[in-house]
Amino acid sequence: MPTAKTADTDIFKRRESEARSYCRSFPTVFTKASGSLMTDEAGRDYIDFLAGCSSLNYGHNDPDMKAALIDHIAADGIAHGLDMYTTQKAAFLNAFERLILKPRGMDYKVMMTGPTGTNAVEAAIKLARKVTGRRNIVAFTNAFHGMTMGSLALTGNSGKREGAGGGSLADVTHMPFENAMDDKDTLEYIEWVLENPSSGMDDPAAFIVEPVQGEGGLNAASKEWLQGIQRLARKHGALFIIDDIQAGIGRTGTYFSTEEFGLDPDMITQAKSFSGMGLPFAALLIKPQHDIWKPAEHNGTFRGNTHAFVTARVALEKFWADDAFQKEVQRKSAILRQRLEQIAALLPGATLKGRGMMRGIDVGSGDLAGRICATCFDNGLIIETSGAHDEVVKVLAALTIPDEIFTKGLDILQDAVRACAGSNQIAAE
Amino acid sequence: MPTAKTADTDIFKRRESEARSYCRSFPTVFTKASGSLMTDEAGRDYIDFLAGCSSLNYGHNDPDMKAALIDHIAADGIAHGLDMYTTQKAAFLNAFERLILKPRGMDYKVMMTGPTGTNAVEAAIKLARKVTGRRNIVAFTNAFHGMTMGSLALTGNSGKREGAGGGSLADVTHMPFENAMDDKDTLEYIEWVLENPSSGMDDPAAFIVEPVQGEGGLNAASKEWLQGIQRLARKHGALFIIDDIQAGIGRTGTYFSTEEFGLDPDMITQAKSFSGMGLPFAALLIKPQHDIWKPAEHNGTFRGNTHAFVTARVALEKFWADDAFQKEVQRKSAILRQRLEQIAALLPGATLKGRGMMRGIDVGSGDLAGRICATCFDNGLIIETSGAHDEVVKVLAALTIPDEIFTKGLDILQDAVRACAGSNQIAAE
Amino acid sequence: MPTAKTADTDIFKRRESEARSYCRSFPTVFTKASGSLMTDEAGRDYIDFLAGCSSLNYGHNDPDMKAALIDHIAADGIAHGLDMYTTQKAAFLNAFERLILKPRGMDYKVMMTGPTGTNAVEAAIKLARKVTGRRNIVAFTNAFHGMTMGSLALTGNSGKREGAGGGSLADVTHMPFENAMDDKDTLEYIEWVLENPSSGMDDPAAFIVEPVQGEGGLNAASKEWLQGIQRLARKHGALFIIDDIQAGIGRTGTYFSTEEFGLDPDMITQAKSFSGMGLPFAALLIKPQHDIWKPAEHNGTFRGNTHAFVTARVALEKFWADDAFQKEVQRKSAILRQRLEQIAALLPGATLKGRGMMRGIDVGSGDLAGRICATCFDNGLIIETSGAHDEVVKVLAALTIPDEIFTKGLDILQDAVRACAGSNQIAAE
Amino acid sequence: MPTAKTADTDIFKRRESEARSYCRSFPTVFTKASGSLMTDEAGRDYIDFLAGCSSLNYGHNDPDMKAALIDHIAADGIAHGLDMYTTQKAAFLNAFERLILKPRGMDYKVMMTGPTGTNAVEAAIKLARKVTGRRNIVAFTNAFHGMTMGSLALTGNSGKREGAGGGSLADVTHMPFENAMDDKDTLEYIEWVLENPSSGMDDPAAFIVEPVQGEGGLNAASKEWLQGIQRLARKHGALFIIDDIQAGIGRTGTYFSTEEFGLDPDMITQAKSFSGMGLPFAALLIKPQHDIWKPAEHNGTFRGNTHAFVTARVALEKFWADDAFQKEVQRKSAILRQRLEQIAALLPGATLKGRGMMRGIDVGSGDLAGRICATCFDNGLIIETSGAHDEVVKVLAALTIPDEIFTKGLDILQDAVRACAGSNQIAAE
């Protein structure tokens, strides 16, 4: 049933900017979604292995969040309150403190930045500079931190950087991520640069790192490497910032992606699945001693998002009140790893990437990866690529995905890989 | 009734960053809102003359938007669809084309940037640089365009700029806004700088201007001055960008704040009231010939916000299908001007600022303005200051405010001015 | 006798970079020079009204400097001593202290920067930033401070700035020089920008100003304006830097160009005529309290130039031991002004520019000015243009020029103006 | 004989900036110099193993250069001719073409930049940016290219960089020099960064490299590594710039320091010994196809230095007309290497650094190196340290040094090392 072909996409072509992107990979018009299924106007269902790029860790339209949000709206609950005190913000903060911070022995202030990830990142680097009086930020190869000028300077991708049109992306040093180069440890190199007073690298205000590089190819840093980066940061008077926007909030199996790594970051960014329901919502967690902002020194009209306070609170209460969800995610992660190993075995040279429910297969070429994803879509699976060369087929299923749908999606992926492998003698080059 | 004193704000003090701000002026906990009234936990109602800093032009929780949004959620309508094609985006774009663009003879592509104003501004300046191959952007004194590094470089306020912590705010030239200096025309100066090849100003990629500077003190540019800026931009190969985030969407009496000025901007930013209901939502309108973005060259997880597509469409259909709303706003603007003139007359030296339903009184000192607003709040009116020295008491009532509430709010303001004037012999210095 | 036509300039065309410039205006090959005359290989003498762009204020090859330098070389005096202590440096510093600083009641440390003007300027702005902890430097429209990246950022000329090839020229705000715009006072504007906390101008580390803008069109700042700039600098915690490279060392009639203006600059740059004989030599004078350099924090191989120490000392002793030379320069300045007035009268719309022996005529167009200078050269006078549009014919005769040669040169200029005026009905447009 | 103690250095302490440096290591007042000896006011001779930091490769006051310069001055030869054509510049350029360029099959245009090394470097990076339309320059760890803002951005040393006072040192990526890290080849890393489109490194306009890092610790790059850098530059559309300011002009045994490496750089900088006699003089050699400067697009008052043209020509004719001098330098280089090996053997852990007549000993600590140099000076030898930690004792004798003086100097060094080694159980740590 050639749904996509009949979808009326004229209005988008006529009126939406050429910057639009995912719609090009999934050329149909979606109209509703529930759990791990999206439905288009022709009534066709698609299994969602993209999950809003990890913004829908709890699936689409979780019924409890829906209900709470509908109740809130129906009762004339605040929709937009700037950053005034609201009942809903209080409830969210109380839940965050009780269910997330306290059980983990964490003491952070929550900064309601603008409701996008890039805004949380911008706030983090501005604050790191204020706290340290230094300007240089260390970011990593293949990093993705956002598209506004401050975050874009941290981002590695040259295609994204060219979007700056030549605007200055200064005050950042890019260092090699773990194993960036053929499994060589990069900590030693980074340490050498930091400790050589003639390296040309100015003293850093902060290191900012994604524990798993979502856009950069599902590169997962090890506990030891992240501890090493934190140690170098401490030793050199720099702050240590975890950008947990894509890897956090359960995606790797724990609320924060590095909970089991024994780290103590100075700041942690939150966005994507932070609202629970995919609403725009972001925050920066700040160690109290670094919370030296003056009132409104970083502000924004949509700081906080009262609808998101409501759904985010429900998400915390529903999924993080005990360890059941976490265990379930870990169970599914094991399934995912096992199935991806089987699938990767179909492609000579293909390798597994990622961690937890944030895994994929490096198939060796962006062209092949693209063909696999297109084949999946034809067969009812929404899935995307990642990596510097788009060479990684990335599985970002909802953490709540039912086993049967998960299996069905992985079957579609396996079939697509098998089909494309046949026409692709050499997977990796 | 000392509501504020009994409000439980401990959680905010304990867990929310020091960056929080409006809550400091309005020390109570709000729980619901409707139209032009906000209600706190103690059940006290406040008249809202802040309207989410112009994000709630249609008031809180418009019943039609509420209903449509509840229906959408209840039906498992998409909450988060990245930038895929959705029924809801199509409906919004069709409405925007039919009700806004076509009647005004405008031909723009709509770029769904991240859902915050600063993201739309960042996209605009990045694109202007790409289009022209130039780096320098002309912004104006007292401008406010956002807090991410690209937008912050455009922003005039030194307190905000210090938030950058020393990060580079380069590639921007600030020029004096109209009448910035004692009613002297500044066009002549700007033209001289542009035409002097030894002025030290690099050729600009764009001029970006707020037709009414909302944060900068309600400075309203004239038709002639804006035409002059557009003419200079054209003459010097620069793009002309209207930042209509605060002044647009009816605030000055027409959908775009400069509709009656005969301008033809290359880009226009939209945010704040764009969703109709105060949901995070922003866009950049781009002349088709400048829409040279590559797919995803500027992206963001929350590009578009499907809930906002729903409410924004309702807002367009409800308020902009004919000229009734526009006329109503113009009627209220006249009332506002008249009342503010009376109020200003109570303060020697006070002057009127702004345009349409975006007006205020320059009372000559931030201290006095602050006392007036605090007095208003004690008497049930939410109102804020603006300006480089916070010296302007700013009225940003919802455009839909009923006359009796509007009058009551203005009465509270008048009483507060009278009370504070008594203790303030010299209003302006 | 068409000397220029027969000059063998092949080697230059073959091997010298296209960046070469003055040689294009004066297409002959010079071989020797004495006082105010330069002689080419064909034996033709030219009167020199360019004087090395003010580097030869004492004329070419002053016999006393020559003799001292020959003696020094013959005796194996140090030619290059890095910045070690030398007898010659001591003698120079003693003379500078005794003849220049003490009589004027000035207390400055002398920093031997690299021997070019731009190096002194770079040292000045680096130090100003170190002293204040601020980054922004205020420079002026039409300013010229040099071509290395730090100085180039201060320079106004767009042609020069394009030489940066897009390298970042940040951390500088250009402000209008006195009367830059139709005789309007610009101090008021500058003060307004400084005092408006939302002007977008970051707090300045320093103001750097040429008392007479040599390259920018012989714009001479008044005592009142410079005092105003100094006052604004002091009030706003910025240093006040006089760039006296072209206007200093007698050019305006006193050793420093602002001696009679009651100023107290924090730093003063010296170069061009500082060696007396045209040898590369530059220095930065620094108020002792600002001399916070660490050893070698700004260095350079040719810091100081021992040959220049010798000739510079002779220059000080010969010309500045009493006020005879100063009076003589002032006498000649009066002659120059009078003659230029007569000459300007030949050209409708032409105006006088400059001060002291640094004067010229704004003839209204670069094309006309270029033709006048070319005509002069054909008649044995070396003279150049200045200004944003090369519209000023600039007289920079040696201060030691004998009256008869001075008169002869001015006669050639007058004839050239008359000749060109005939073919140029409208001088100024 | 405690000469230094009686030297009258009051004037320097009173009037010279704290930035002065070498004089602190050599606390006496020099008055004359000849060949490899410097003489102080007390008549004491010092052997010069510093040679103006390689600016005096032909020794002090070469008799032929002296004679030619005296003749030139006596005959009223041009001292300062801006960049006009002069007989002396023609003679120099002809000699440079005939004796340097042609025999080596090189085709370069000569750009007379300001007469300091940093000016040549600034011109090089500006031109590289103009030619490529790119902004980023690759420089290397431990690099030293000068102290003006453009060159300082390339320089690795943090102490020097701090001199910028926070001014922006942007548009540069520092890469590890060969063997920077424990003998690991760094080419592979650099190639990986260049070829990873998500490395965060913007496409480079140029690579600039010192074949032997003079200030950075006498790190000598191999033929293979430099060929690798050139290959990477070519492959990635970047220019390849050799900064030969300290290593060139015979210092390593050939005129250019990389003559025998089969390289074909796009630009080469010249300064330090370029004048032959230590006069300020610098140039940039540019491949003709890259010489796209507009006239005066990079200029400077002291472009060229006519006295230097005279002495530089003599130097070329005297030392580079045949290969005798080159062979002599190579003979002395062998002596130097042999003696330094013997001396290094006195210090456990000490290693040899450098190449040709640009060699030293890494003694493992700046403290020890400093004590060795101080002991040398007490015994009549001028010698300095180098390296990120000042840990290298650096021998930069004149290339013309007579064997007996060379031996005597090396004996003093050997004695000093032996003396200091006794009091320093552990040389390297």
- Please check whether residue D171 touches A, CB under 8 A: yes
- Please check whether residue D131 touches A, CB under 8 A: no
D166 and B168 within 8 Å at the Cβ level: the answer is no
Look at residue D406 in the predicted model and tell me its pLDDT: 98
Chain A, 29-88: which have a CB under 8 Å from a chain B CB? 29-34, 38, 41, 50, 52-53, 55-56, 60-61, 66, 69-70, 73-88
B135 and C166 within 8 Å at the Cβ level: the answer is yes
Nearest chain A alpha carbon to B91 = A11
- Please check whether residue B249 touches A, CB under 8 A: no
Question: How close is the nearest chain A Cα to the Cα of C149, in Å?
Answer: 16
Nearest chain C alpha carbon to A133 = C133
Digit-coded pLDDT (tens) for D311-334 = 999 999 999 999 999 999 999 999
For range C351-377, the mean pLDDT: 97
For range D211-218, the mean pLDDT: 96
Look at residue A425 in the predicted model and tell me its pLDDT: 53
Which of A183, A194, A198 to probe the D interface (max D CBs under 10 A)?
A: A198
C298 and D163 within 8 Å at the Cβ level: the answer is yes
State the pTM of this model. 0.96
Question: How close is the nearest chain D Cα to the Cα of B305, in Å?
Answer: 28
Question: What's the Rg (C-alpha) of chain A?
Answer: 21
Q: Quick one: CA torsion of C235, C236, C238, C242, rounded to 10 degrees?
A: -50
- Please check whether residue A294 touches B, CB under 8 A: yes
SS3 of residue A54 by DSSP: helix
Digit-coded pLDDT (tens) for D382-416 = 999 999 999 999 999 999 999 999 999 999 999 99
Look at residue D86 in the predicted model and tell me its pLDDT: 97
Query: Which residues of C are less than 8 Å from D85 in CB distance?
Result: 7, 9, 12, 23, 26-30
For range C228-246, the mean pLDDT: 98
Residue with tokens 């714009």: C219
Look at residue B427 in the predicted model and tell me its pLDDT: 42
Look at residue A183 in the predicted model and tell me its pLDDT: 65
For range B123-139, the mean pLDDT: 98
For range A4-25, the mean pLDDT: 89
Query: d(Cα A42, Cα D97) in Å, to the nearest integer?
Result: 78
- Please check whether residue A408 touches B, CB under 8 A: no
Query: Which residues of C are less than 8 Å from A170 in CB distance?
Result: 168
**What are the residues whose beta carbons fall under 8 Å from the beta carbon of D83, sequence distance 6 or more?**
C20, C21, C22, C23, D112, D299, D303, D304
Residue A157 has pLDDT above 80, yes or no: yes
Digit-coded pLDDT (tens) for C38-61 = 999 999 999 999 999 999 999 999
Question: How close is the nearest chain B Cα to the Cα of A345, in Å?
Answer: 31
> Vertex A377, ends A374 and A378: CA angle to 5°?
90
Nearest Cβ partner for A156 among D199, D216, D389: D199
A196 and D388 within 8 Å at the Cβ level: the answer is yes
C203 and B158 within 8 Å at the Cβ level: the answer is yes
Look at residue B3 in the predicted model and tell me its pLDDT: 43
Query: Which residues of B are less than 8 Å from D129 in CB distance?
Result: none
Per cent of chain D over pLDDT 90 is 94
Look at residue A422 in the predicted model and tell me its pLDDT: 78
Name which of A420-424, D190-194, D235-239 the model is least confident about. A420-424
Look at residue B185 in the predicted model and tell me its pLDDT: 80
Question: How close is the nearest chain B Cα to the Cα of C194, in Å?
Answer: 11
Question: How close is the nearest chain A Cα to the Cα of C241, in Å?
Answer: 26
Nearest chain A alpha carbon to C166 = A166
Digit-coded pLDDT (tens) for A93-129 = 999 999 999 999 999 999 999 999 999 999 999 999 9
Q: Nearest-CA neighbor of B406 among B356, B353, B357?
A: B357
Digit-coded pLDDT (tens) for D344-388 = 999 999 999 999 999 999 999 999 999 999 999 999 999 999 999
Residue C100 has pLDDT above 90, yes or no: yes
A166 and C166 within 8 Å at the Cβ level: the answer is yes
- Please check whether residue C423 touches D, CB under 8 A: no
Domains of chain D: 6-62+325-428 (3.90.1150.10), 78-319 (3.40.640.10)
Digit-coded pLDDT (tens) for A38-83 = 999 999 999 999 999 999 999 999 999 999 999 999 999 999 999 9
- Please check whether residue B296 touches D, CB under 8 A: no
How confident is residue A181, by pLDDT bands cut at 50, 70 and 90?
Answer: confident
Look at residue A176 in the predicted model and tell me its pLDDT: 96
Look at residue C425 in the predicted model and tell me its pLDDT: 53
Residue C410 has pLDDT above 70, yes or no: yes
Look at residue B4 in the predicted model and tell me its pLDDT: 45
Look at residue D1 in the predicted model and tell me its pLDDT: 39
Nearest Cβ partner for C296 among D19, D87, D123: D19
Q: Which chains touch B (3 or more CB pairs under 8 A)?
A: A, C, D
Query: d(Cα D47, Cα D42) in Å, to the nearest integer?
Result: 15
Q: Which chains touch C (3 or more CB pairs under 8 A)?
A: A, B, D
The two tokens of residue C356 are 């002291």
Look at residue D83 in the predicted model and tell me its pLDDT: 95
Query: d(Cα B95, Cα B93) in Å, to the nearest integer?
Result: 5
- Please check whether residue A198 touches C, CB under 8 A: no
Digit-coded pLDDT (tens) for C415-428 = 999 999 876 554 44
Digit-coded pLDDT (tens) for C379-405 = 999 999 999 999 999 999 999 999 999
> Vertex D284, ends D279 and D286: CA angle to 5°?
155
Digit-coded pLDDT (tens) for D83-106 = 999 999 999 999 999 999 999 999
Look at residue B304 in the predicted model and tell me its pLDDT: 86
Query: Which residues of D are less than 8 Å from A161 in CB distance?
Result: 200, 202
How confident is residue A250, by pLDDT bands cut at 50, 70 and 90?
Answer: very high
Look at residue C6 in the predicted model and tell me its pLDDT: 60
Q: Nearest-CA neighbor of C429 among C369, C372, C343?
A: C369
Residue B403 has pLDDT above 80, yes or no: yes
Question: How close is the nearest chain D Cα to the Cα of B170, in Å?
Answer: 10
Residue C182 has pLDDT above 80, yes or no: no
C141 and B202 within 8 Å at the Cβ level: the answer is no
Per cent of chain B over pLDDT 90 is 94
SS3 of residue C220 by DSSP: strand
The 3-state secondary structure of chain D reads CCHHHHCCCHHHHHHECCCCCHHHHCCCCEEEEEECEEEECCCCEEEECCHHHHCCCCCECCHHHHHHHHHHHHCCECCCCCCCCEHHHHHHHHHHHHHHHHHHCCCCEEECCCCCHHHHHHHHHHHHHHHHCCCEEEEECCCCCCCCHHHHHHCCCHHHHHCCCCCCCCCEEEECCCCCCCCCCCHHHHHHHHHCCCCCCCCEEEEEECCEECCCCCEECCHHHHHHHHHHHHHCCCEEEEECCCCCCCCCCCCCCCHHHCCCCCEEEECHHHHCCCCCCCEEEECHHHCCCCCCCCCCCCCCCHHHHHHHHHHHHHHCCCCHHHHHHHHHHHHHHHHHHHHHCCCCCCEEEEECCEEEEECCCHHHHHHHHHHHHHCCEECEEECCCCCEEEECCCCCCCHHHHHHHHHHHHHHHHHHHHCCCCCCC
Query: d(Cα A324, Cα A331) in Å, to the nearest integer?
Result: 11
Digit-coded pLDDT (tens) for B340-393 = 999 999 999 999 999 999 999 999 999 999 999 999 999 999 999 999 999 999
- Please check whether residue D301 touches B, CB under 8 A: no
Per cent of chain B over pLDDT 70 is 97
Per cent of chain D over pLDDT 70 is 97
Question: How close is the nearest chain C Cα to the Cα of D175, in Å?
Answer: 19
Question: How close is the nearest chain A Cα to the Cα of C164, in Å?
Answer: 14
For range B129-140, the mean pLDDT: 98
Nearest Cβ partner for D197 among A169, A174, A388: A388
Question: How close is the nearest chain D Cα to the Cα of A199, in Å?
Answer: 4
Q: Which chains touch D (3 or more CB pairs under 8 A)?
A: A, B, C
Question: How close is the nearest chain A Cα to the Cα of D158, in Å?
Answer: 6
Residue D429 has pLDDT above 50, yes or no: no
Q: Which chains touch A (3 or more CB pairs under 8 A)?
A: B, C, D
B193 and C159 within 8 Å at the Cβ level: the answer is no
Query: Which residues of B are less than 8 Å from A78 in CB distance?
Result: 30-33, 38, 60
